[in-house]
Amino acid sequence: MSRRDTLVHLFAGGCGGTVGAILTCPLEVVKTRLQSSTMTLYISEVQLSAVNGAGVARVAPPGPLHCLKLILEREGPRSLFRGLGPNLVGVAPSRAIYFAAYSTAKEKLNSVLEPDSTQVHMVSAGLAGFTAITATNPIWLIKTRLQLDARNRGEKRMSALECVRRVYRTDGARGFYRGMSASYAGISETVIHFVIYESIKRRLLESRSSGNVDEEDDASRDVSDFAGMMLAAATSKTCATTIAYPHEVIRTRLREEGSRYRSFFQTLGTVFREEGSGALYRGLSTHLVRQIPNTAIMMCTYELVVYLLDG
C-alpha cells in the first residue's frame, strides 16, 4: 500500500467515524446510562439511587424511552450530548487508526494466506481492533465518565479536563486504562462484523459484475452500490453486536467512578450473580438502534470518501 493510499484510508475512516458519532450521540448517552450500575430513578419526586446493585429498593431499570424522558426532565437536552467532546476528539483518530491498520494488515496477509479469505478478514480486523483500543482507551474512559455524570438543571457540570484530573488523582495513570480488558474481549464483535461485511460486499460486487450494467447509467449504479454497502454494514453489525454485547456492559461497569468492579471476569460474575443474566444485555435495544445507523453511516462515508479520493 502506497503512502497516499494509507492517508486516504486514514482520512476516510476519520470522516466516517466523526459523522456517525455526531448523529447518534444522544442514543450513546442513553445506552451508557442503562448499562451503568448507578442508574437513578425518580418516582413521585423521590430519588432512589441503586449504587453498585444495592439500593433503597429493588426497582426494575427503566426502558430506553423512560431513561430518555428522565434525562430530558431532570438534566435538560444538553445532557444528551454529554461526552461528545471526547467522542469527537477520539473517534477520528480511533477510526482512522482502525481502518489504516485493517487495510495494511489485510494487504500483508493477502500475500501470505489465501487472498481476501475469511482468515485474512478475521486476523486483520482483530489486529486493527487491538491497535485502536490500546491507543485510544483513555479518551473513551473520559467519555464514559462524562456520560454517567448525571446532574440536575442548573448544577455545574464536570468538564473533560476536570474528569482527567479526578481520574489521575484517584487511580493514577493506570486509571485511564480501566475497561480495556473488556474492549479487547469486544474485538470478537469487530471480527464477526467485518467477516460478514466483506462477504456481503463481495457478493454484491459479484452480482453487479455478472449483471448487465450497460443498460444503467453511472449515477444509478453509484446509488445502488452505496445503498448495498449500507445494507451490508447494517446487517453485519446487527449480528455481531447481538452476539458480543455483554462486553459493553462489563466495560461500562469497569469505567464507573469509585466502582467496586476490578476485572473482566470478576465483573461478569458479579453482575450475573447479583442482577441475573438479563443485566448483561441491558441497553441492547438502544445499542442496536444506535449502532445500525451509526455503522451504516460510518461505512458508507468511508467507502464514499475512498471512492471520491481514488477517482
CA 207, CA 276: separation in Å to the nearest integer?
Answer: 46
The pTM score is 0.73
**What local confidence, expressed as pLDDT, does residue 168 receive?**
95
* Type and span of the H or E element at 209: helix 187-210
pLDDT at 217: 59
Residue 131: its pLDDT value, please?
Answer: 92
Going from N- to C-terminal start, the domains of the chain cover: 3-310
Per-residue confidence (pLDDT) for residue 46, from 0 to 100: 38
| CA 213 to each of CA 206, 225, 308: distance values in angstroms, whole numbers, following the listed order | 12, 12, 21
Four-way CATH pick for 3-310: 3.40.718.10, 2.60.40.10, 3.60.20.10, 1.50.40.10: 1.50.40.10
CB 124 within 8 A of CB 110: no
With a cut of 70, which residues of the chain have pLDDT below it? Answer: 1-2, 39-61, 210-223, 311
Write the CB contacts of 270 (distance below 8 Å, at least 6 apart in sequence). Answer: 53, 260, 261
> 84: which 3 cell numbers?
461528545
Backbone dihedral angles phi then psi of residue 47, each to the nearest 5 degrees: -95, 120
Q: Which residues are within 8 A (CB) of 211 and not within 5 positions of it... i.e. 6 or more apart?
A: none
Gap between the Cα atoms of 131 and 251, Å rounded: 18
The pLDDT value given to residue 42 = 41
